[in-house]
Structure 1
Amino acid sequence: MAGKHTPRSKSRILLLSLSLLGFSVLFFLFSLSPLRNPTHSQFPNTNIHVETSFVSSLEDFLTHKAPRFPNIRDDTVGGAVGEEEVRKLDDRIYDSEMDRLYRDPYYPVGLPLKVYVYNMPSKFTYDLLWLFRNTYKETSNLTSNGSPVHRLIEQHSIDYWLWADLIAPESERLLKSVVRVHRQEEADLFYIPFFTTISFFLMEKQQCKALYREALKWMTDQPAWKRSGGRDHILPVHHPWSFKSVRRYVKNAIWLLPDMDSTGNWYKPGQVYLEKDLILPYVANLDLCDAKCLSETNPKRSTLLFFRGRLKRNAGGKIRSKLVGELTGVDDVIIEEGTAGEGGKAAAQSGMRKSLFCMSPAGDTPSSARLFDAIVSGCIPVIISDELELPFEGLLDYRKIALFVSSSDAVKPRWLLNFLRGIRPAVIKEMQQNLAKYSRHFLYSSPAQPLGPEDLVWRMMAGKVVNIKLHSRRSQRLVEGSRSLCTCECRVTNATKTSPALPGLS
């Protein structure tokens, strides 16, 4: 009986084998096909709560995350070092760089960027964060021009967002563009986690200057600083007043800035330039208008142009009073003096979400958080700031989301209104759609998100590494009396021209 069933058993085994082979081929072919939903590949941890409020994120960081961060041992030096220590580090860096050069065909171009984070004394880091946390409810603390101090600190809190992400355990980080290293010879760049803006606004003037001098001595005593003259060191000085009393001594470092103001009001000639430094966006004051919000508000945007803020400013901001005279009294234009506090925020948010265009003129400096408020509100920015430099412009094309108008054109009678009214609905719709895509690039968050501003910082930094190494090595081998500075100025002066006629303009 058994012999009669053998052929049928063999045929079943053969059929099963062929079926398994077929499934294997189909699985292999499917694995080669592109992902159906790239969103999930970009954000594999979408179930994690993402915090975009500086105050809320800082509270969680100080009370829950910071205490449980492992006390990772690194080779940060506690005091001044001699030439021998600098030479030893130079030798170790040479060995590491040669190993990477011969082993990695893409070195030094590519990601992830290797960043060494200094383990600075707590008076430069945690103590200042606690100082903000314990005083931020004191809203009576104002600057000389009436701006709430703690809100200014929030707007310029890029130092917190970058540092908190860098020092977080790798298991909790989402970014692939940067990795923290704990040995200096492995680093492409060095990050200095000193909270210069908090100390400037919340400490007594002389106390702050003393802390600046201490921080200056501490960082310039580090062997890696001595080796490169600070050229491969990143220093966050995002508010134009921060670290001002001593920053002439660290002009070789990579500064993280809000703009570059070539007028000389905030930065001295030779201190800042695009080849060395990086422009970072302000932290937006307003809440994100997400996809659902945009679908509800875009059809109802009945205001042509909106501006809420201080109507009188100094320096380049003097144009504001001229614009007020030109635009006041027009039916579908709202120009109003801004007020601080939650009431002012609510009014600005409501106004931007009801408007097609939001005016972003220069203030005391070329930049303003208002630009990023407009972007996250889905309101097309009209930038009137002739000296403005923009964040991540090597990666992002702002012509797709904003209009650029020269100051000379903007103040001509009826010129700006005629320009905006001439933009056809199809062009407006396209720019609104682009704003919805771009808003993620300007939202600082914890944990830091792929393609968020923290991520774009390191992608931009990666493009600077080769040039940084070139100038560091060049400075190390120049002999005394040699011509150490370039004798020609090759940078093109920044001067805004009105956007050329967009496709679809009547």
Structure 2
Amino acid sequence: MNRSLKIYVYPHQKDDPFSNVLLAVDFEPGGNYASESYFKKVLKMSHFITRDPSNADLFFLPFSIARLRHDPRVGINGIKDFIKSYIFNISHEYPYWNLTNGADHFYVACHSIGRFAMEKVVDVKINVIQVVCTSSYFVSAYIPHKDASLPQIWPRLGGNPDFAPYKRKKLGFFAGSLNSPVREKLLEWWGNDSDIFVHSGRLERSYTEELLGSKFCLHVKGFEVNTARIVDALFYGCVPVIIANHYDLPFADILDWKHFSVIVATLDIPLLKKILQGITQQEYLVLQSNVLKVREHFQWHVSPIDFDAFYMVMYELWLRRSSLRLQ
């Protein structure tokens, strides 16, 4: 993959009035949706780019959902029309889309609006590889194995923290707004528990301290199946407990999540404590050790490092490249 994968990025004029939503970011990405910006920024500088479309395995559609969302000329309500116009233009100016009806094309989006943005271009939903954070196979817009799950990752400064397992006193931890029935059910059952700390509102201790002091950190579905909490847990060496049905987990084609996380069905929230206490100390130590091993795959770097998030996404794309080259 590293030697042979080639990607063609559709060009645009620098004086294009919408060049700001097609260019890679010229600043350090930040916030919940940094993954989209990081990918574009790193891809632009990578050896995977080819200027010769005849050598390309895949074609990148470089529009940014995050930037379109904040552009006053487009906004949330205008994204669908923008994407429709963009696909119409490239399919008439270039021959590559029409060779496969977009099956060897891909785009990247982390904001949840991304999965609604393609509703006026059915071919995108059906054929294009969608690399998105909102990777729910319960939603018709997302097709597992064709599409790929992008982890929602906050930018990180400094090295990896490592709090020894014996210093983790809390059995479980969750903090967040109650923006879904699943989270409300979690608080109902475990809001006053002495072993599982479930909190809504301002924390007395810092979020980081809670992550470092807990054995298991709960990733609970909110408005969407995805949040940055799952990668927060990995970064701070806390074993993720995933309570989000229909979540196509990031890099699931590459990583076996059962070796470094615990997956609990939302219906089993009343059994959560029993499930976690049923994990032996030895089993926990194996899970936590594997967390420390895999967290390198969930980090972005401006200059990519082998096996980091950028290379993991590239490998997901490599797995999805077309086996049939149409000339």
Q: What is the TM-score when the length of structure 2 is the normalising length? A: 0.86
Hey, what's the Cα distance between the residues in 1 that align with 2:56 and 2:214? 47
Larger-gyration structure (1/2): 1
Aligned to 2:61: 192
SS of equivalent residue, structure 1 residue 255: strand
Please, which of 157, 166, 169 is the counterpart of residue 43 of structure 2? 166
Please, which of 417, 430, 435 is the counterpart of residue 273 of structure 2? 417
Please, which of 390, 393, 405 is the counterpart of residue 249 of structure 2? 390
1:226 is displaced (CA, Å) by: 2.3
Aligned to 1:275: 145
1:239 is displaced (CA, Å) by: 1.9
Residue 152 of structure 2 contacts residue 227 of structure 2 at CA under 8 Å; is this kept in 1? yes
Aligned to 2:287: 431
Cα deviation per residue 1:17-40 (whole Å; 9 max; x = unaligned)?
Answer: xxxxxxxxxxxxxxxxxxxxxxxx
Confirm whether residue 255 of structure 1 aligns to residue 111 of structure 2.
Answer: no
Please, which of 166, 169, 188 is the counterpart of residue 325 of structure 1? 188
Confirm whether residue 442 of structure 1 aligns to residue 309 of structure 2.
Answer: no
Hey, what's the Cα distance between the residues in 1 that align with 2:301 and 2:155? 14
Gaps (5+ residues) in structure 1? 1-108, 137-149, 477-506
The one-letter code matched in structure 2 to 1:279 is: S
Structure-to-structure mapping, 1:55-454, within 5 angstroms: 111-122=3-14, 123-126=17-20, 154-168=31-45, 179-203=48-72, 205=75, 211-221=82-92, 222-242=94-114, 244-249=116-121, 250-251=124-125, 252-264=127-139, 269=140, 271-284=141-154, 290=160, 293-294=161-162, 296-313=163-180, 318-338=181-201, 347-411=206-270, 415-454=271-310
SS of equivalent residue, structure 1 residue 305: strand
Are the structure 2 counterparts of residues 261 and 117 from structure 1 closer, same or farther at C-alpha, using a change threshold of 3 Å?
A: same
1:338 is displaced (CA, Å) by: 4.6
Aligned to 1:82: none
Hey, what's the Cα distance between the residues in 1 that align with 2:137 and 2:21? 34
Are the structure 2 counterparts of residues 463 and 210 from structure 1 closer, same or farther at C-alpha, using a change threshold of 3 Å?
A: closer
1:388 is displaced (CA, Å) by: 0.7
Hey, what's the Cα distance between the residues in 1 that align with 2:322 and 2:2? 11
Hey, what's the Cα distance between the residues in 2 that align with 1:130 and 1:197? 12
Are the structure 2 counterparts of residues 288 and 374 from structure 1 closer, same or farther at C-alpha, using a change threshold of 3 Å?
A: farther
1:132 is displaced (CA, Å) by: 9.3
1:114 is displaced (CA, Å) by: 1.0
Aligned to 1:501: none
SS of equivalent residue, structure 2 residue 143: coil
Residue 352 of structure 1 contacts residue 379 of structure 1 at CA under 8 Å; is this kept in 2? yes
1:466 is displaced (CA, Å) by: 3.7
1:455 is displaced (CA, Å) by: 0.6
SS of equivalent residue, structure 2 residue 112: coil
Residue 135 of structure 2 contacts residue 249 of structure 2 at CA under 8 Å; is this kept in 1? no
Hey, what's the Cα distance between the residues in 2 that align with 1:132 and 1:181? 21
Hey, what's the Cα distance between the residues in 1 that align with 2:322 and 2:82? 33
SS of equivalent residue, structure 1 residue 436: helix
Confirm whether residue 456 of structure 1 aligns to residue 315 of structure 2.
Answer: no
Higher fraction of helix: 1
Residue 286 of structure 1 contacts residue 376 of structure 1 at CA under 8 Å; is this kept in 2? no
Are the structure 2 counterparts of residues 397 and 363 from structure 1 closer, same or farther at C-alpha, using a change threshold of 3 Å?
A: same
Residue 382 of structure 1 contacts residue 402 of structure 1 at CA under 8 Å; is this kept in 2? yes
Residue 288 of structure 1 contacts residue 377 of structure 1 at CA under 8 Å; is this kept in 2? no
1:128 is displaced (CA, Å) by: 7.2
Cα RMSD for the two superposed structures: 3.0
Aligned to 1:12: none
Hey, what's the Cα distance between the residues in 1 that align with 2:206 and 2:33? 22
The one-letter code matched in structure 2 to 1:237 is: A
Cα deviation per residue 1:237-283 (whole Å; 9 max; x = unaligned)?
Answer: 3322137344441222111111433444xxxx3x4312321111111
Hey, what's the Cα distance between the residues in 1 that align with 2:310 and 2:174? 28
1:438 is displaced (CA, Å) by: 0.6
1:217 is displaced (CA, Å) by: 3.2
Residue 196 of structure 2 contacts residue 273 of structure 2 at CA under 8 Å; is this kept in 1? no
SS of equivalent residue, structure 1 residue 437: helix
Q: What is the TM-score when the length of structure 1 is the normalising length? A: 0.57
Are the structure 2 counterparts of residues 287 and 305 from structure 1 closer, same or farther at C-alpha, using a change threshold of 3 Å?
A: farther
Are the structure 2 counterparts of residues 115 and 127 from structure 1 closer, same or farther at C-alpha, using a change threshold of 3 Å?
A: closer
Question: Identity over aligned residues, as a percent?
Answer: 23
Across the two proteins, how many residue pairs are aligned to each other?
319
Residue 97 of structure 2 contacts residue 105 of structure 2 at CA under 8 Å; is this kept in 1? yes
Residue 25 of structure 2 contacts residue 40 of structure 2 at CA under 8 Å; is this kept in 1? no
SS of equivalent residue, structure 1 residue 155: coil
SS of equivalent residue, structure 1 residue 164: helix
Hey, what's the Cα distance between the residues in 2 that align with 1:179 and 1:312? 40
1:207 is displaced (CA, Å) by: 5.9
Residue 156 of structure 1 contacts residue 239 of structure 1 at CA under 8 Å; is this kept in 2? yes
Are the structure 2 counterparts of residues 207 and 325 from structure 1 closer, same or farther at C-alpha, using a change threshold of 3 Å?
A: closer
1:218 is displaced (CA, Å) by: 3.1
The one-letter code matched in structure 2 to 1:228 is: T
The one-letter code matched in structure 1 to 2:110 is: H
